[in-house]
Structure 1
Amino acid sequence: MTAPREPFFPAHKSIRASKEPIEVRCLGTIDYQQAFDMQTELAAQRAREEIGDVVLVLEHPNVYTAGKRTQPEDRPTNGLPVIDVNRGGRITWHGEGQLVIYPIIRLAEPVDVVDYVRRLEEALIQTVRQAGISTAGRIDGRSGVWVPGTNGGQHRKVAALGIRITRGVTMHGLALNCNNTLEFYEHIIPCGIDDAGVTTMSQELRREVSTEDMTQPLVTEVRRALAGELVVADHTFDIAPDPTKGLKRKSRGTSAGSSTDE
């Protein structure tokens, strides 16, 4: 997703409505539906100004989730159930060994969805690069963080994003593959992309990289990005078709708000 205009806020300014510190809640491994219900309640509380900004840090047991532009051919061939959710994007997998962060943040007015996504991507890119994957960057037309293919090999996705913004408050977020299995991706078309691969931090660095290893670095960079301390830069190394372009949104699992894709 290429920004169609300059961001509403200068790069050095916070995109958050609040100046109070962000509360970070580390939840360990938690069922997806339980986490979704928690997000929904927290987002409603945040919209009513009953709580401040919160970031949930967690892992999920094995689960497929389908965003609003998921197509029938995307769905798993292994018979496992799929949870339909109200984020943007198509289908993806979550499981242990994958670090998931859900920011429940009230964005400053006017709400800038593109800038918010770009800041989250920047936080991921910087975290991944600092860990040793120096070539990680963006593919124009596709969100997430990618590792470029070499010697004719496919580009590989190491982190995904899928968000929703309702009443100015964010839900869903980002997922970084650390030391998870890639087996479950083989039974779906991840994010609707069939011309690229999926990878993990451990696979790229050829050493064990756990979610615990990556939690503090990623939370730190997310905070910096939202605060305007981490300037979004151009890390694009290729261009590819948008896997959601021209697809109709599903009618179920939705509510008033804005979303963007994984």
Structure 2
Amino acid sequence: MSNAPREPFFPADRSIRASKDSVDIRYLGEVDYLEAWDTQAALAADRAAGSIGDTILILTHPSVYTAGKRTQPEDLPTNGLAVVDVDRGGRITWHGPGQLVAYPIIKLADPVDVVDYVRRLEEALIKVCRDAGIKDAGRIDGRSGVWVPPDRKVAALGIRITRGVTMHGLALNCDNTLEYYEHIVPCGISDAGVTTMTKELGRDISVEDMTAPLVDALVQALEGELAVADHTFASAPDPTKGLPAQARARRDHSDQRSKGTV
């Protein structure tokens, strides 16, 4: 397994899910970020209680910045756009039209293997990008997400696992603008760039084009039908290593919901 500090807890061809039932795929269209976060939280609680099965939410968001627990003051936007402090890992990123978002609400099998889960999400994204024509899409050791050489991120990941259930997930840049990234330090990484599938391939790649391939690849990766392979082409410093959680990101969700933005 690439980039992992140890071997995964499960063989590559074994499902990482606790359940053998089919995954419920919900296509939500464009959803306000805070509304989607509330939906995730409710579904995750239900999944932990065993009252629903595994679910993947497929959606897009209106333009918004979201700040993970390791976001630093220097990362924050200079353009006045709303920022939502969120309980996922990582630092700041942008969501908006033209970007395909997936939130898996999955009960992971015991023992929970966070590294393997992240690598499986990356593997699904790498497959989607390569099948579309970005043949060199892969990983940078030390940095999550999917990258195009030498240093352009095409898909970002940020997750949270509570009571063995996953929340948050991934965002694939299809044909979105890159303007909003210019006003932040994306994912806390100042020495690399951001790209889209459309920019890399020189033709329009829409959210609609990538939805079915991404859903298929995610399910295959979680089930072990798509095995994690070594797609690492570089290494770089981890932008979250050694950073304390910031007070901004520790504010609870109810406070976020009432205030909306910060």
Q: TM-score, normalised by structure 2?
A: 0.94
Deviates more, 1:221-230 or 1:2-11: 2-11
Unmatched 5+ stretches in structure 2:
254-262
Superimposed CA distance per residue, residues 76-105 of structure 1 (whole angstroms, 9 cap, x where no aligned partner): 000112100000000000001000000000
Give SS of 2:111's match.
Answer: coil
Aligned to 2:78: 77
Aligned to 1:162: 158
Aligned to 1:2: 3
Aligned to 2:178: 182
In structure 2, how many angstroms separate the alpha carbons of the residues matched to 1:37 and 1:47?
A: 15
In structure 2, how many angstroms separate the alpha carbons of the residues matched to 1:239 and 1:11?
A: 23
Superimposed CA distance per residue, residues 53-88 of structure 1 (whole angstroms, 9 cap, x where no aligned partner): 000000000000000000000000001121000000
Do 2:29 and 2:59's aligned partners in 1 also have CA atoms closer than 8 Å? yes
Please say if 1:171 is aligned against 2:167: yes
Percentage identity across aligned positions?
Answer: 72
Report how far residue 3 of structure 1 moved. 1.4
Aligned length: 250
Do 2:27 and 2:59's aligned partners in 1 also have CA atoms closer than 8 Å? yes
Moved over 4 A (4+): none
Give SS of 2:208's match.
Answer: helix
Report how far residue 136 of structure 1 moved. 0.4
- Equivalent of residue 202 in structure 1, options 177, 198, 204: 198
Give SS of 1:45's match.
Answer: helix
Aligned to 1:24: 25
Residue identity matched to 1:228: G
Report how far residue 249 of structure 1 moved. 1.1
Aligned to 1:33: 34
Q: TM-score, normalised by structure 1?
A: 0.94
Residue identity matched to 2:52: I
In structure 2, how many angstroms separate the alpha carbons of the residues matched to 1:17 and 1:254?
A: 29
Counterparts of 1:220-239 in structure 2 under 5 Å?
220-239=216-235
In structure 2, how many angstroms separate the alpha carbons of the residues matched to 1:60 and 1:68?
A: 20
In structure 2, how many angstroms separate the alpha carbons of the residues matched to 1:126 and 1:4?
A: 23
Report how far residue 237 of structure 1 moved. 0.3
Report how far residue 4 of structure 1 moved. 1.4
Residue identity matched to 1:95: G
Q: CA RMSD in A?
A: 1.1
Unmatched 5+ stretches in structure 1:
150-154, 256-262
Name the structure where helix makes up a greater proportion of residues: 2
Give SS of 1:42's match.
Answer: helix
Residue identity matched to 1:21: S
